[in-house]
Chain A
Amino acid sequence: MMLAFVWLAPLAGGILLWAFGPQLRSWAGPIGSALIGASFLATCALWGSATAPGALHVPLVSWLHGWNFGLQLDRLSLIWSLIITGVGFLIHVYSIGYMDGDRAFARFFAYMNFFVFAMLTLVLSDNVIGLLVGWGLVGLASYFLIGFWFDRPSAVAAARKAFVMNVVGDVGMMFAIFLIVAKLGAIGYADVFAGVGHALDSGTVFLICVGLFVGCAAKSAQVPLHTWLPDAMEGPTPVSALIHAATMVTAGVYLIARFAPLWSASAEAREMAGVIGGLTAISGAVLGCVQWDIKRILAYSTMSQIGYMIMGVGVGAFTGGVFHFLTHAFFKAQLFLGAGIIIHALANQQDVRRMGGLRTRMPFAFLAMLVGVLAICGVPGFSGFFSKDDVIYGTLAAGHPWLYAVGVLTAGITAYYMFRLLFVTFFGPYRGDVDAAALGIAVEPSGPSVAGHHAEEEEPHHHAPPGLMNVPVAILILPTIFIGWLDFGEGSPWKQFFRGFPGFDAAATSAAMPELASTGLVLAVVAAGFTLAYARYGTTAALRDAVARLRNETLRTPPVLVHAYYFDAAYELIFARSARALGSWFDRVIDPHVIDAGVREVAISSEWLGHLFRSFQTGLVRVYALSLVFGVACFVAYYALAFGVSR
């Protein structure tokens, strides 16, 4: 069964590599990659049957009446599966080079394969609970990979944070499942969609959407559940590329697209999703402007781009949103892998302030990054242009001028911080040897970026990346540029592809201005963003005294941005700390001093009574005799009362 193979091959790889990793040694990488590749090919082979009417469906197990689990490959899950396995394959290959020499080389690929399996479970499931299972498993995989270098406390903490936040999302989805099961008694997508409007009244649909959206917000790092994503960069760079850029974090988009019929049926839900998406898009972008860690910059940009997608699918521009996912998967993977090359080459230096002038040192990386940046900024012709334009215009078409404004503005900010990244990293002099203080970097003794996985290695290497790392990047360049043309103009193949897909044909209200005008506006704003970035980082003057400028900027960054709006601090205070405090109060006060104390009192008092009665035993005969007489008196008194009086 082909589909089962697509689904299980990565799992098999995961188990195999986990169990026999030490024996396989350096073979682990190729084996893991090969399995993903095979899975990819199998997916491609299934294109026909997936696009055929009625999709492809495989029943698996059944728990109870109406609780039937199965796999389903339709157009939506097909797109996702292709990205997961395809991009996944490339990143696997890349990782062979990147992770080369790591102590836990095999374990890494085991986790990666397991992740692919989990992600496939998510997108291939044909029912809500199967979806939730995949949802949880990808969370686990991301936990494993974020905490891959588990001797780093920071990585461990980040991993736990990511997992717990994702469980919050799972819980939200459970709530949605409550409603679905309570109303329908069945869990299959088909049953759910059939129920819309009948068994599921609009109020219920809205609640379901809220539940689902909590899940999607947690997984896709939407405000306010986004704080785990930047920390997730503790994981190896390929992980960031695959999980925290290309695939997992976009699961939220998949979720909304998958339940399009529900969202189409509930305007409030669309409102909510659109607003949250827009909020995320802009706040992420703003934070992206003040980051110095190259991966964190990309992380915030990811957050903001997903904001776009959510905004798009939220307002009902499903094709646009999904398309942005597609293009983003390529160009963001591209960017991360490019960053990975740099990090790898600079022995885990991730701080852009310590880079600079790399254009000449590693031209290929520059090319890769450049293409990625152009794409993400939506420069015409590059993939990002088409998809982002779709989304932004979609908001307008759906009648959300405010969201439209946010989208446009964010496009500009994006251009600013991406080119900022480009300039600071690749232009000007190399600042790797400048001491940290001069750059205003607060030096922490054992920062995460220092104690890397290469710590075990002998020679501190500054070497050019192995070919294995360049090839995938090179391959990715093509789609990064050209994939966008799939959605060129009305009746594009992309729009054709999703015509008639359940819920996708949401009636778009007439837009306030023609699409071309909007495009022009967006481009103008992007240009503005670029100009600003150039003025601040690109001009020869700026590049000359880059060190001083960077120092100033570092010290001048408003703390509210440095601390990412204080979300982490607030959560730590409100949830983590108070929960622990409550728990230890229960443990230290209630248990011993309330409950046990009560029980102990009973015990002690009975002991006390025992000694009391013991003290009555004076040993004096006459006292005993007296007690006897006392008893007699009681008896006689009773009889006198009971019988004497009655006569």
Chain B
Amino acid sequence: MIVSALVLVPILFGLALYAVPRRAAGIAKGASAVLAALVFALAALEPQAPDATVRWLSRPFAAAFHLGFGPISFWLVLLLALVTFSALLVVRGSRMREIAAQLLVLQGAMNGLFLAKDVLLFALFWDLMLLPVFLVLVAGGTHGRTAWKYLLYNLVGGLALLLATAAFGVLAGTTDVIGNPAARVGIGATWGAWIFAGFAFAFLIKTPVFPFHTWMPETYADLPPPVVAVVSAVQSKAGLYGFLAIGVPFLGPEMAQARPLMFVLGLSALLYGAFVALAERDAKRVVAYSSLSHLGLILLAVFSGSSLAYAGALVYIIAHGLFSAALFIVLGAVEQREETRDLLRLGGLGARNPQLAGALMLAALAALGLPGLAGFAGEILILTGLYRAGYGWPAVIALLPIVLAAAYMLRVFQSIMNGPEHPDLPQRRDLTWLEGLAVAPLVAAFVWLGIDPASVVAAMVAGGAHVAGVR
């Protein structure tokens, strides 16, 4: 009941927002923010909510509309609700109503993705969550190319996922298996490789991982800040979640086979993203490439087969969600004030906007993995896990991007906030209370997570027992 509400209520409410007259867009925004908060409360208060399931298909394989919390999905749903709430608070502009609506639809679809206990249902929401973002990009106007890149890249992945799901269902007889360790899925080695390839292709594009990443920087650069906050914070985790929820339990051998390849991809994403971020001029693109780098690290963890690294992966997934959302929201605020994202044109804002500077500083610090913040907790767990699982060189190589991260994150912060004030830039007011309200919970969350990730990790390790073959 509750779990289906988590999916349906935001979608329906979002669609209903279109009935609100444009004049009352502010009301729409407020109402949707309240709804997001309620969704958060609903999920947080009922972690033991019972599954909801309705039969869908019976032949050639059994499938069901089966939604329910899992050890990982619970946290992801919370993260999503939190980020959506913050994002909704900073929605602004003439398209306020549409963006708010699409954000809610997106939230509903992604809740469905994370709560799906059925692979086919997972695939359904996988495709469904493309539409709101595509529509936002399209309605943005001049971003046709970006919209196409986003849609086609991800849709190709989605179709591979679809084919793999079909084959999975035919061979396993049912797709209603996620989070069900008892489900003995008999997939032969011959087909397993192909099916895994299908899943992996979709997941890698979505994450994204080098060399499937080129859709991401443009999408992030063109999306309005609230939406990009949600997309980068949560949607980019869908693929990793897929690996953890479908790959690890049911395609363990194939994942082990693919490990070398995935390590190569992960490491190249890790380094590639970091280096490009060092050279970018556009603040949003810097953060986009930094995500590429960070998500590459998580990919390593996912394929490491080490429980320590899995724990780190979950912490880092949540952490990255929190700080990248904060980063994009603050950068959005900067852009909205100064009408540019060009690091070479910005500068000296810190003097007049101390709170803005503080928010950006905190987010950047979390992103560069400052010890004591969430990013560090995830990194150290993942890296030690990798090293301990016997992947010494990957772990050591993965240390380099940490230094680079410090360099490019500080570069972003300093070239926006420090240095002499630029007279040609419009000097606007400091962080508004709405923006503050949007950023504060995120910051609080990643500070808390950095000090005591145990609450999350413990849940993960407890619930993550289904993660088979963990060293």
Contacts and interface: CB of A to CB of B under 8 A. Distances in A.
Contact of B403 (A63, A168, A179): A168
B275 A167 contact: no
Interface string A183-208: 00100000000000000000000000
Contacts of B403: 164, 167-168, 171
Contacts of A129: 371, 380
A446 to B, nearest CB: 10
Contact of B417 (A133, A150, A178, A580): A150
A43 to B, nearest CB: 22
Nearest to A603: B152
Given A135-B371, A150-B350, A61 B454 contact: yes
Interface residues of A, number: 49
Contacts of A143: 410
Contacts of A136: 370-372, 376
Contacts of A603: 152
B275 A583 contact: yes
A311 to B, nearest CB: 27
A137 to B, nearest CB: 6
Interface in A129-167: 129, 132-137, 140, 143, 147, 150-151, 153, 156, 159-160, 163-164, 167
A261 to B, nearest CB: 21
A181 B371 contact: no
Interface residues of B, number: 55
Nearest to B274: A583
Residue with the highest number of chain B CB atoms closer than 10 Å, among A134, A137, A591: A591
Contacts of A151: 348, 351, 418-421
Contacts of A167: 368, 402-403, 406
Interface string B278-289: 111000000000
A64 B310 CA distance: 12
B452 A181 contact: no
A595 B211 contact: yes
A642 interface: no
A531 to B, nearest CB: 46
Interface in B401-430: 402-404, 406-407, 410-411, 414, 417-421
A175 interface: yes
Interface string B353-373: 000001000000100101110
Contacts of B350: 150
Residue with the highest number of chain A CB atoms closer than 10 Å, among B214, B381, B400, B461: B214
A177 B399 CA distance: 12
A64 B351 contact: no
Main secondary structure of the interface of A (DSSP, over half): helix
B16 interface: no
Contact of A580 (B279, B383, B421): B279
B57 interface: no
Contacts of A18: 358
A595 B292 CA distance: 15
Interface in B372-389: 372, 376-377, 380-381, 383-384, 387-388
A586 B400 CA distance: 17
Contacts of A171: 399-400, 402-403
A188 to B, nearest CB: 15
B453 interface: yes
A143 B402 CA distance: 17
A153 B407 contact: no
B357 to A, nearest CB: 9
Given A151-B351, A174-B380, A599 B214 contact: yes
A583 B279 CA distance: 5
Contacts of A163: 406, 410
B275 A175 contact: no
A62 B455 CA distance: 10
A459 B403 CA distance: 44
B384 A579 contact: no
A170 B152 CA distance: 42
A62 B277 CA distance: 34
Nearest to A65: B461
B457 interface: yes
Nearest to B351: A151
A132 B371 contact: yes
Nearest to A583: B279
A153 B420 contact: yes
Contacts of A574: none
A63 B457 contact: yes
B445 to A, nearest CB: 16
Contacts of A591: 214, 217, 276
Contacts of B421: 151
Contact of A133 (B278, B371, B384): B371
Contacts of A587: 276, 279-280
Given A64-B311, A150-B419, A181-B384, A156 B457 contact: no
Nearest to A107: B354
Interface string A588-605: 000110011001000100
Residue with the highest number of chain A CB atoms closer than 10 Å, among B407, B411, B461: B407
Interface in A590-647: 591-592, 595-596, 599, 603
B395 interface: yes
B214 A140 contact: no
B84 to A, nearest CB: 28
B281 to A, nearest CB: 9
A562 to B, nearest CB: 27
B122 interface: no
Contacts of A132: 371, 380
A584 interface: yes
Contacts of A569: none
Given A64-B457, A580-B278, A587-B276, A156 B311 contact: no
A440 to B, nearest CB: 29
B278 A160 contact: no
A175 B418 contact: no
B237 to A, nearest CB: 21
Contact of A178 (B153, B365, B376, B383): B383
Interface in B315-337: none
Nearest to B389: A182
Interface in B38-83: none
Given A133-B371, A156-B418, A583-B277, A63 B351 contact: no
B396 interface: yes
A140 B153 CA distance: 40
Nearest to B211: A595
Residue with the highest number of chain A CB atoms closer than 10 Å, among B308, B351, B371, B411: B371
Contacts of B134: none
A582 interface: yes
B451 interface: yes
Contacts of B214: 591-592, 595-596, 599
A582 B452 CA distance: 38
A130 B400 CA distance: 21
Contacts of B404: 579
B196 interface: no
Contacts of B399: 171, 174-175
A117 B148 CA distance: 51
B272 interface: yes
A577 B380 CA distance: 28
Interface of B: 152-153, 211, 214, 217, 272, 275-280, 308, 311, 348, 350-351, 358, 365, 368, 370-372, 376-377, 380-381, 383-384, 387-388, 392, 395-396, 399-400, 402-404, 406-407, 410-411, 414, 417-421, 451-454, 457, 461
7 residue pairs, one from A and one from B, having the closest CB atoms:
A583-B279, A136-B371, A584-B279, A583-B275, A178-B387, A133-B371, A150-B418
Given A61-B454, A64-B461, A584-B276, 9 more contacts: A64-B308, A143-B410, A151-B348, A164-B407, A167-B403, A171-B403, A178-B392, A580-B279, A583-B277
18 contacts: A61-B451, A63-B452, A63-B457, A129-B371, A134-B371, A151-B420, A151-B421, A156-B418, A159-B414, A160-B407, A171-B402, A174-B402, A175-B399, A178-B392, A182-B387, A584-B276, A584-B279, A586-B276
